[in-house]
Structure 1
Amino acid sequence: GGLLVALSPAASYAGAAGLYLFALACIAGIRGNTRPEVNSGSRWALMKEGLAYVWTNRIVFGAFSLDLVAVLLGGAYALLPVFARDVLHVGPEGFGLLRAGPAIGATLVAVVLARHPIRRKAGPVMFAGVAVFGLATIVFGLSTSLPLSVLALAVLGGADMLSVYVRQTLVQIVTPDALRGRVAAVSSLFFGASNELGEFESGVVARFLGPVGAAVSGGVGAVLATGLWARLFPDLRKADRLE
């Protein structure tokens, strides 16, 4: 998308639409009965049970809330247009490269993890990923060079992929079959809202501190949140095997 938008915004949206249709075709081809057996009860009771599990399970709640806070504070994506125009002075083509940076890093890390999955110390790896996410955001905010900014965004995207990989797998493992769908629903709300709220926060802070101040302060906040969550949620920090 970032590379295509440098050529034509229409091409970027058309490419995204084509990939959505391809994904839909792949999902439609999945066969198998994976529905778990659940206890009968009212929908409200089932919803309450799922929310109560998320709230009381320290690993699940710690993982969800850490992602929410880190993305809320480190949401630099919304600032990319103003960085391209006013900070780096690179125009639409440079903006396309900046927008592609996180995806480049995320793709490379995903390929590595597919070949070499994490076997041990999953919790520390996840916390390290969030910390690197914050540090890369700081570097991006301070950079005045397009190559360094793209590199920082690639590291940011790779670190985010690493933490998502551990978090999503860990949550699936510790959640009982009957609750997994409801926990996944809460997960989608947490992660979907965190991106929009993070961009809103970055825009508000940029109004008062400028884009550089917003990016740097958000990165610092994400790093501090990592240390605080590691102390508040020792069970999550000590999580070991993803099995």
Structure 2
Amino acid sequence: MTRTPFDSTVRGEDEPPSAPGTRPATFQEIWESFDRAAVGHAHAKLNLAGAVHAYVSHVEVRPPTILIRGPHGVGKTLLARTAGTATTRPFQIVTGLDEMMVLAAAPPRQRTIVLADAIDLADIGVEELDVWIDDVIQSGALIIATAADTSDARLPDLFDDTTDLSALSESELEEVVTHPASRLEQAKVVAARMGITIVIHPEAKKLLASTAFASGEGAALIDRALSHLAPILVGLPKQDCIIDRRLAEVLLRQAAG
């Protein structure tokens, strides 16, 4: 695929990637933001942090175009969102064939364009990506694309860098359950305002992780299951909410729909 050379005047000194009046984030700070965002993927986080740091520190004039590939529920969108935050770009999830409407709606260089997990490359083929990505790259947009399909060898040719994520292990999925950014931790904050303390038993955490691993849905299933805590909290008196194995089974059944 042939690309027209990027116009380096798109982003001049009057349009830095970091917020006006602030110093660019260091590599360590950017890496730590990726490390806080998602469990696992140590090597991928280093690669992403390096690409983002090169841009925010003006080593690279052109915003990076990065493809993050991997199975469902491994943290692709979390890492993409973090990349957008690190470059102070708005985060925009683009699903299905909506990307053309999004690109037409606003100057691409004001957005982070993300192809979310919902996209199946069987539905939005490499040819369609090829149609729009050149124009967006030349306009100065930061592109972080996520895709579950890792089999098409042609796809990385559209991007500066490709980061492949592997499925999370059961032990890593246990970490996901109680990760500071998890649905459970969010529920704990809401519950505390209601005078309720949420406690999760180790066997419940193991069940959530093992079921998520076996299903192939990974962290997505855990997030969906724990989202069903909210209506349970509403019906509780001001007391502890104990997530034991039995309640975990209920949450998983509800998540299965």
TM-score (norm 1): 0.25
Bigger Rg over Cα:
2
Higher relative contact order (CA 8 A, sep 6+): 1
More strand by share: 2
Between Structure 1 and Structure 2, which shows a larger proportion of helix residues? 1
* TM norm structure 2: 0.24
